């Protein structure tokens, strides 16, 4: 970094003022792996508890005003659930965020949802997607984030090309139901649960489908949905350049879609992604990105892990904001490789924690949100209240 102290402070406050990140309702609930579930006493089991946990994270960090909702898990009765959710929004001061259709749990989706060879199943899947859009409208939610588990496990068992056509048709139909300010975010994933082919496997496919659907559709990058060693920041640069970047699902991974807390394995990767975004913004590109977390914590305490993630996201966003990009551009032009890399890396190694503490103090927030969470006793209280309820349920079951 080559910036003066006061320029650093100004830039830090500007960056942190502009950063918001959405938390997922499912990050507070008990989840597991295919080998089992370790139940946590403080885990949320109702939508009310999820809103309460989200409000606690927002009280501590001040940057998570919205909660992503998943259709079957949070709104099992569809539109009928909307008034109760609106009441929770008012009670907890948290708004509903992106709406996530569920096109993977229903038994009839065994061979696909929007790409199922059966027209009837495809139609029902589309109906669910349209219902999700209606719910988003009723909740004033802008983004519908679409992920499907569609794909196949064995070569020759599905017609991949036909399935592209069905998807194009479905997404175009969905797009025509969006309100003018809504967006359809198309999420890709290379494998899992399908292991031979996934219908939307990468950013190129997602980008094609979004373009085909219409101008309000764009791509959602889930950082866990890439092969090892993939250069995600280059994908981000392409999506920025082509105006197709709509949002992120942040998490970290070591092997596959591990859903580990952001930056726990490779914080430099996220820094590099944020640099591309800051650089595009400095260059005057119109950017409208929904930052969202998509993690479920099986071993760590759920609220702690969420606070840890939010703080990490802020720190990495800030580090990348502090790169002296003017100077970097000069070094890039003159191909001074070592100097350019050192300038870039220097920002990554800068300890921004004193700056985030100052920013929090200036906004009446606890300077150390994790410490404040521990001091509040919130998790222990939740464990006491919810644990007795869940043990009553499990002894009944």
In the complex, the residues that contact Mn ion under the rule CB under 5 A are 222, 249, 294
Shortest distance, CB of residue 47 to Mn ion, whole angstroms? 20
The residue among 249 and 325 lying less far from ligand PSV, judged by its C-beta, is 249
Site string for ligand PSV, 90-109 (x = CB under 6 A): ----------x---------
Strands of the chain (E only): list them: 23-24, 32-33, 36-37, 66-70, 95-100, 143-146, 151-152, 183-187, 197-198, 217-222, 245-250, 290-293
The residue among 73 and 111 lying less far from ligand PSV, judged by its C-beta, is 73
Contact between 253 and ligand PSV by CB under 6 A: the answer reads: no
Measured in degrees and rounded to the nearest 5, phi and psi for residue 103 equal -115, 35
Of 257, 276, 315, 324, which one interacts with ligand PSV (CB under 6 A)? 257
Please give the residues from 35 up to 74 whose contact with ligand PSV meets the rule CB under 6 A. Answer: none
H helices within 242-300, ranges in order? 267-282
> 192: helix, coil or strand?
coil
From the list Mn ion, ligand PSV, none, which binds 26 (C-beta under 5 to 8 Å, kind-based)? ligand PSV
Contact between 150 and ligand PSV by CB under 6 A: the answer reads: no
Measured in degrees and rounded to the nearest 5, phi and psi for residue 33 equal -115, 180
Number of residues forming the site for ligand PSV (CB under 6 A): 9
From the list ligand PSV, Mn ion, none, which binds 360 (C-beta under 5 to 8 Å, kind-based)? none
Shortest distance, CB of residue 224 to Mn ion, whole angstroms? 7
CA atoms within 13 A on the CB side of 238: 14
Shortest distance, CB of residue 141 to ligand PSV, whole angstroms? 15
Residue 318 near residue 356, CB atoms below 8 Å: yes
Shortest distance, CB of residue 238 to ligand PSV, whole angstroms? 21
Contact between 356 and ligand PSV by CB under 6 A: the answer reads: no
Residue 80 near residue 73, CB atoms below 8 Å: no
Contact between 26 and ligand PSV by CB under 6 A: the answer reads: yes
CA atoms within 13 A on the CB side of 356: 24
Shortest distance, CB of residue 139 to ligand PSV, whole angstroms? 17
From the list Mn ion, ligand PSV, none, which binds 276 (C-beta under 5 to 8 Å, kind-based)? none
Beta bridge partner(s), residue 64: none
The residue among 12 and 144 lying less far from ligand PSV, judged by its C-beta, is 144
Residue sitting closest to ligand PSV (CB) = 147
Write the DSSP assignment of 28-89 as a string of letters: GB--EETTEE---TT-B-SHHHHHHHHHHHHHHHS---EEEEEHHHH-TTGGGGHHHHHHHH
Residue sitting closest to Mn ion (CB) = 249
The residue among 256 and 372 lying less far from Mn ion, judged by its C-beta, is 256
Cα 297–chain centre separation: 14
From the list Mn ion, ligand PSV, none, which binds 81 (C-beta under 5 to 8 Å, kind-based)? none
Contact between 22 and ligand PSV by CB under 6 A: the answer reads: no
| Cα–Cα distance for residue pair 195/350, rounded to 1 Å | 41
Q: Residue 296 — left, alpha, or beta (φ > 0 → left; ψ -120 to 50 → alpha)?
A: beta
Cα 256–chain centre separation: 16
Helix/strand number for the chain, H first, E second: 15, 12
Shortest distance, CB of residue 252 to ligand PSV, whole angstroms? 13
Contact between 294 and ligand PSV by CB under 6 A: the answer reads: yes
From the list Mn ion, ligand PSV, none, which binds 100 (C-beta under 5 to 8 Å, kind-based)? ligand PSV
Of 53, 56, 150, 187, which one interacts with ligand PSV (CB under 6 A)? 187
The residue among 85 and 200 lying less far from ligand PSV, judged by its C-beta, is 200
Cα 269–chain centre separation: 16
| Cα–Cα distance for residue pair 324/331, rounded to 1 Å | 11
Contact between 249 and ligand PSV by CB under 6 A: the answer reads: yes
Contact between 222 and ligand PSV by CB under 6 A: the answer reads: yes
The residue among 226 and 249 lying less far from Mn ion, judged by its C-beta, is 249
Shortest distance, CB of residue 189 to Mn ion, whole angstroms? 8
| Cα–Cα distance for residue pair 151/193, rounded to 1 Å | 8
Q: Which positions lie near ligand PSV, rule CB under 6 A?
A: 26, 100, 147, 187, 189, 222, 249, 257, 294
């Amino acid at each position: 970094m080559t910036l003066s102290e006061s320029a650093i402070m100004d830039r830090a406050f500007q960056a942190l003022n502009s950063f918001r990140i959405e938390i997922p309702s499912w990050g507070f609930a008990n989840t597991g792996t295919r080998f089992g579930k370790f139940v946590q006493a403080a885990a949320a089991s109702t939508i009310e508890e999820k809103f309460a946990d989200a409000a606690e994270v927002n009280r501590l960090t001040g940057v998570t005003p919205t909660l992503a909702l998943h259709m079957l898990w949070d709104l099992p009765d569809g539109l009928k659930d909307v008034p109760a959710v609106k009441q929770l929004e008012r009670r907890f001061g948290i708004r509903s965020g992106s709406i996530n259709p569920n096109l993977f749990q229903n038994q009839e989706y065994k061979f696909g949802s929007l790409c199922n060879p059966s027209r009837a199943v495809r139609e029902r899947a589309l109906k669910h997607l349209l219902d999700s859009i209606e719910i988003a409208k009723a909740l004033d939610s802008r983004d519908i984030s679409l992920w499907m588990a569609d794909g196949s496990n064995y070569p020759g068992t599905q017609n991949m090309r036909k399935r592209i056509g069905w998807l194009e048709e479905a997404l175009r139909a969905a797009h025509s139901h969006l309100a003018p300010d809504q967006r359809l975010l198309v999420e890709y994933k290379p494998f899992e649960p399908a292991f031979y082919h996934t219908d939307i496997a990468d950013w190129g496919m997602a980008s094609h489908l979004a373009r085909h659907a219409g101008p309000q559709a764009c791509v959602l990058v889930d950082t866990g949905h890439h092969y090892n060693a993939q250069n995600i920041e280059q994908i981000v640069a392409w999506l920025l350049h082509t105006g197709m970047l709509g949002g992120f699902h942040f998490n970290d991974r070591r092997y596959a879609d591990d859903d580990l807390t952001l930056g726990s394995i490779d914080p430099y990767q996220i820094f590099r992604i944020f640099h591309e975004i800051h650089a595009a913004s400095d260059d005057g590109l119109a950017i409208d990105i929904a930052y969202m977390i998509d993690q479920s914590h099986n071993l760590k305490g759920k609220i702690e892990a969420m606070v840890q993630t939010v703080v990490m996201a802020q720190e990495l966003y800030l580090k990348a904001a502090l790169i002296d990009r003017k100077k970097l551009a000069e070094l890039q032009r003159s191909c001074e490789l070592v100097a350019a890399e050192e300038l870039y890396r220097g920002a990554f190694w800068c300890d921004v924690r004193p700056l985030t503490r100052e920013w929090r103090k200036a906004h009446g927030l606890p300077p150390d949100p994790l410490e404040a969470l521990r001091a509040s006793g919130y998790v222990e209280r939740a464990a006491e209240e919810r644990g007795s309820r869940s043990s009553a349920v499990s002894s009944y079951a």
